[in-house]
Structure 1
Amino acid sequence: MDNTIKTIGLSGTCYWCTEAIFLSLHGVTKVEQGWLSSVGEHDWFSEGIIVTYMPEVISLKNLISIHLHTHSSTNIHSMRDKYRSAVYAMEPYQMTEIKHNLALLQDEFDTPLITRAYTFNQFKLSDESIQNYYYSDPKRPYCKNIITPKLKNLLDSHAHLMNKNKLSIEHNKTILLS
């Protein structure tokens, strides 16, 4: 069993949404939101998160699956430069596993995935005042109207991976399981 802590970068939609989704999972120990850049052709910064996780609790495949199912991973739209659909390898050995999982998970979609594997280059942390955006005040209009519905959908499809204690008791502020 792998007892190490690992990190992975993800981008594809607003970092407030992505941060809330991944903070809600068993085995995720930390999520930082900001901007990620990659090495090579697509080297500009894109909104995203860095996820620190315990692979013995949640697999990379499950993290990628949740990522693909919680943003428009098959849709090219006008905001793709800001919200690049990507999984970032933090270590060279991760690239093969990421590409393998993206290929396996393609079967869950009717149209081709646009999500790509990139080599992580750099990260710029967003302002401290917006870190932990959802869980610091889930009753904000953006949280109630955008993030909470995504979390409810995730609870329907991936309940076994979600930390229900976090969703129901975080300072008695959440509206998901109350």
Structure 2
Amino acid sequence: MGKNNIQVATFGGGCFWCTEAVFLEVKGIEKVVSGYSGGNAPGKPTYREVCSGLTGHAEVVQVTFDADIISYEDVLIIFMTTHDPTQLNRQGADVGTQYRSVIFYHNNEQKKIAEVVIQQLADYFDQKIVTEVSPLDIFYDAEDYHQDYYNNNQEKGYCSFVITPKLQKLRKLHADKLK
């Protein structure tokens, strides 16, 4: 198995700490970087600026994966079923456009697959899926202390009460896709 089919996907599903922790457990995922995308403020935004909600950026993760091991479609299904894509501009107690559910596609093929997956999963949810599907413009890495946050901070309350349950859901729904 070579590294010829390495692809990149970018998603926002609320706090990037949660989404990052989920994908770090998935087979075929080579790298996960927390960051920001989808904003309109000039220059590289800071966490504080993004949290203000004024830059238009979403907290996202950029996922590098080996498509010979896991397909983009499977990556999307994991993303869509480990956060609540029916909540507009929020995930649980995290509220604001920076926490929106969003798929930033890198090419037209990703866009088409995202639209199909959203349609296929519509009946899985009680409410309408509000996940935004937008072209990726620029991805900015978040500050270093946000990278691998869950693994470095499992004792913190947010990790215990918000991220750990998401990981339990991942393990239940997608056990066959885990490392």
Letter in 1 for 2:31: K
Find 1:57's aligned residue among 59, 69, 77.
Answer: 69
Q: Quote the residue 1:4 is aligned against.
A: 5
The answer to whether structure 1 residue 106 and structure 2 residue 122 are counterparts is yes
Q: CA separation in 1, counterparts of 2:148 and 2:68?
A: 24
Q: CA separation in 1, counterparts of 2:77 and 2:139?
A: 23
Scaled by the length of structure 2, the TM-score of the pair is 0.80
The answer to whether structure 1 residue 83 and structure 2 residue 99 are counterparts is yes
Q: CA separation in 2, counterparts of 1:113 and 1:106?
A: 7
> Does structure 2 conserve the Cα–Cα contact (< 8 Å) formed by 1:88 and 1:118?
yes
Letter in 2 for 1:104: Q
Q: CA separation in 2, counterparts of 1:116 and 1:146?
A: 23
Deviation string 1:117-171 (CA, Å, 9 cap, x unpaired) is 11000112111122111122323332222211110121111111112xxxxxxxx
SS in 2 for 1:7: strand
Q: CA separation in 2, counterparts of 1:88 and 1:130?
A: 20
Seen in structure 2, the aligned counterparts of structure 1 residues 118 and 75 have a Cα distance that, compared at 3 Å, is same
1:75 CA drift (Å): 1.8
Letter in 1 for 2:21: A
Q: CA separation in 1, counterparts of 2:37 and 2:89?
A: 19
Tell me the C-alpha RMSD between the 2 structures: 2.2
Q: CA separation in 1, counterparts of 2:87 and 2:6?
A: 32
> Does structure 2 conserve the Cα–Cα contact (< 8 Å) formed by 1:38 and 1:120?
no
Scaled by the length of structure 1, the TM-score of the pair is 0.81
Q: Quote the residue 2:83 is aligned against.
A: 71
The answer to whether structure 1 residue 127 and structure 2 residue 128 are counterparts is no
Q: CA separation in 1, counterparts of 2:23 and 2:172?
A: 15
> Does structure 1 conserve the Cα–Cα contact (< 8 Å) formed by 2:88 and 2:101?
no
Seen in structure 2, the aligned counterparts of structure 1 residues 77 and 50 have a Cα distance that, compared at 3 Å, is closer
Q: CA separation in 1, counterparts of 2:112 and 2:39?
A: 16
Extract structure 1 runs of 4+ deviating beyond 6 A: none
Find 2:174's aligned residue among 153, 158, 174.
Answer: 158
Q: Extract unaligned runs of 5+ from structure 1.
A: 164-178
SS in 1 for 2:63: strand
Aligned residues: 160
1:102 CA drift (Å): 1.5
Q: Quote the residue 1:14 is aligned against.
A: 15
Q: Quote the residue 1:173 is aligned against.
A: none
1:20 CA drift (Å): 0.3
Q: Quote the residue 1:33 is aligned against.
A: 34
Seen in structure 2, the aligned counterparts of structure 1 residues 37 and 77 have a Cα distance that, compared at 3 Å, is closer
SS in 1 for 2:108: coil
1:93 CA drift (Å): 2.9
Q: Quote the residue 1:96 is aligned against.
A: 112
Letter in 2 for 1:52: T
SS in 1 for 2:99: coil
